[in-house]
Amino acid sequence: MDTLIFYLDIFGTISFAVAASLMAYKKNLDPFGIIVVAIFTSIGGGTIRDILLRNYPIFWIDNILYLSVIISSSLLTQFFYRYISKKEDILLFFDAIGIGVFTIIGIKTALKFDVHPLICIMMGTITAVFGGLVRDVVCNEIPVILHRELYATLCIMGGAVFFIMSFLGINNNLSYIFSMLFIIITRIIAIRLNLSLNDLIFRSHMEGKR
């Protein structure tokens, strides 16, 4: 299971690095600036998580592979930008993968410290959304976490799905994968349908009146 989680972590890191590099490139940052944004985005949430949990050494300091993967992904994204950017919503697609993977990574890390499931879900959400918050601020964008669309809410829901599956005795590997896919797929659906939490609440309220 640890091997699976490690590869998922690297996959999520690549996804966030690509998404951050795409946004930074659009903002006309120079190559170094784009790499810096990619690094902040990819390790920001995990760094805060490790500090809060007192999980030392912090993951990217303990394993240089993370920085190597981020820098390589950023450089490749810059090099192939004109081809990648032609794909509609490609930035949001990579971001969706990133939040799905990182939510599960955050939960897995928190579980090692035997904390309450709510704290685990909080750590998963922080891991997933904090880096994107930094990216948006640096790139002078309104942080996506503050938009009306579903974002952090999906991380919380995905964390809840994981613990429900665990409570039912479902294999942890399956729980991790299913919860991750739940977040990614629902995020992509929310993007395509322009769904927000307000929309869902309003629709439920209106249906309740019928």
* pLDDT > 70? residue 201: no
CB 100 within 8 A of CB 146: no
Mean pLDDT across the chain: 89
Average pLDDT value for residue range 50-60: 95
**What is the reported pTM?**
0.87
> pLDDT: is 3 or 65 the higher one?
65
* pLDDT > 50? residue 205: no
pLDDT digits (tens, 9 = 90+) for 106-159: 999 999 999 999 999 999 999 999 998 999 999 988 887 777 678 889 999 999
At 198 the pLDDT is 61
Q: 54-84: string of b/e by CB count within 10 Å (b at 16+)?
A: ebeebbbeeeeebbebbeebbbebbeeeeeb
pLDDT digits (tens, 9 = 90+) for 82-101: 888 777 678 788 889 999 99
Q: What ranges do the domains of the chain cover?
A: 2-209
- Sign for the pseudo-dihedral over CA of 18, 60, 137, 110: positive
